[in-house]
Amino acid sequence: MEPAIKRVARRTGLKPRTVAADRGYGEAGVDDALHNLGVRNVVIPRKGRPTKARQVEEHRRAFRRHLKWRTGCEGRISSLKRGYGWDRSRIDTTEGARIWVGHGVLTHNLVKISALASRPHSRAAPRPIPVVSDQRIAGQTTTPREDRTEWAAGPPRRMVTPARRS
């Protein structure tokens, strides 16, 4: 784990604030080494039964939030493997594998975006806010054609013309 963090820091010029991993890395030595590298949040559950102090650490809100984030990432990777060809690259070489993975991510994102775009809205869109024209604020008289309400967010869904004055 330590060489990977050093490589990330060397390539990006930044130290990661948080490192999350599965229980296989859950040892005190790994935590200490990551803290010595400047990692602020080490989110790795310990192997075996944790001590009372470690239980308090693992029940902190930030720890649980980062652990849930990591768990969600694992689910997304599993979905990509099953549905978008990440189980095996069909193009040889490392560059081919990068292309294959990129196409899988692009396809996944397009499917997600189209599903979100076609989903009906859960609540009604906010109604446009009428804005009174400057002439009406100043108390000037206007002709019926000029006495229309302007809309801040574009025209309303159903255009209603104001009643004519007699």
Spell out the per-residue pLDDT of the chain, length 166, in tens: 889 999 999 999 999 999 999 888 999 999 999 999 999 999 999 988 889 999 999 999 999 999 999 988 888 888 888 888 888 888 889 899 889 888 888 988 898 899 888 877 656 555 555 554 444 444 544 444 444 444 445 555 554 555 555 5
Helices 28-36 & 2-12 angle (0-180, nearest 10)? 20
* pLDDT confidence of residue 101: 86
Place of tokens 């649980």: 64
User: Which residues in 82-93 are b (16+ Cβ under 10 Å) and which e?
Assistant: eebbbeebeeee
CA-CA distances (angstroms) from residue 51 to 12, 22, 67, 113, 130? 36, 18, 19, 44, 62
Q: Strands 18-20, 150-151: parallel, antiparallel or unpaired by DSSP? A: unpaired
